Chain A
Amino acid sequence: MKSQVLSNFAWTDLTVVAFLIFLGLFIFAVYWTFRKGSKDFYDNVGNLPFDEGQPLTGDKK
């Protein structure tokens, strides 16, 4: 009996479908981030942790 129907319910194709979706997403992400003219943009954004606004009071370092 071993839940035959369940094991026949083999959606192995789903693995392939899932992989293709992922591949698409990955290629798009790579294409997107390496688009022309994005370098300056990313350099700027990458520096955001160092910009906390200008201190007015407290210890001025």
Chain B
Amino acid sequence: MKMLSIAYKDILIILRDRGTLLQIFVLPFVFILVFSGMGSMGEDEQEALPLTVVNLDQGSEAAAFIEGINTAGGVNCEIMDQSAADAQLEAGDIQRLMVIPSSFSADLNANKQVALRIITHPDADDNITETIRLIVDGAAQDMALETQIVASLTFMGEMQAAMPADQQPFTTERVLQQAESQFAISHERPLITVEQLQPGELDKIEEFQPVTGTQVAVPSFTVLFVFLSAGVTALSIYNEKKVGSFRRLMAAPMSKASLLLGKMLPQMVITISQVIVIFGIGMFLMPLIGLDGLVLGDHPLLVILIVLVMALCASGMGVLIAAVARTENQIGGMSAVVLWVMGALGGAFFPIYLLEGFLGQVGKAVPHYWASKAFYGVLVRGQDISGISTDLLVLAGFGLLFWIVGVWRFEFDR
């Protein structure tokens, strides 16, 4: 159990090192606060989200509706014909597709309820989809209300015209009353409903779970800082060598394996406590200060599994850095830069794992990507083990690779 002695000693040292503690526990919190704050502030100035629309309706209502969405802001409709849109959605070139049925104008005019469908690509960001859905829904409500009011006002006008001038049945009060009752109806029984579907499951309508920025920001920054703390292990190994205490460890009756394991174990402890602290802040502290709280969802055990695999991966990374880096500067500065870039590629600042195209592909080269994606799967999409098993396997593969290369390249005599 000399391995445990080394780990215990290293944890004592870390607990006395304020700079490291700050980096491990405080910095992630600051980042999450700053970025989730910025996210909600920036929303107004955001560029319009693209939404492909297939308009099967010949009437004037659909065109007005599309116009309504575009002027509401936030979403920009692109009209496309059905077959092209289906193909592009299939290929993942577009993420979402809204179909306006051919009966749209007719049904609306007949005061019948119309269902609009937004079909999403499986990889589409649910947050964005939900944002689009809300904007479309808003436009639909306005539209429906407008149609209803116009219809009843027209009706009233026609009746009025047919009456003699002194017996006009519709006073201002009655018109207002009529309008108010239309507002109430439109709320209770919206004329246009927007459903979100994935291709191939047009019949299955999922129950919608509200998704907040916290659900994405907290785990992504956790991943970033967990891997950043791999530098702590590397630096600790480097310091042992610089100070010469590494010689003492080598001169003691202990295998090289337990020496290395002893140096890696604190990284596991750091990772797990980082996750506990950061998630804890997300779950309990953020709601207290008026932000959305983190929700663990239906599979908290899967979260623990992701954390463990990530911890193994981060500790392997620590040894790899220690094995490859030659100077303190390389460990302190260069590895930090590399880890920040990897973190960014892996989706710390923006959920790159949801992107198609080049950027989305580049992210796959870093373990952060897979860890973030797994968290996203469990925390946002509510996936179970089968949904994130690929992510976990790739993450574990990265860990194994880091361990093997790290141990192989590790120089005990330097």
The answer to whether A and B come from one shared complex is: no
A interface residues (Cβ-Cβ under 8 A, vs B): none
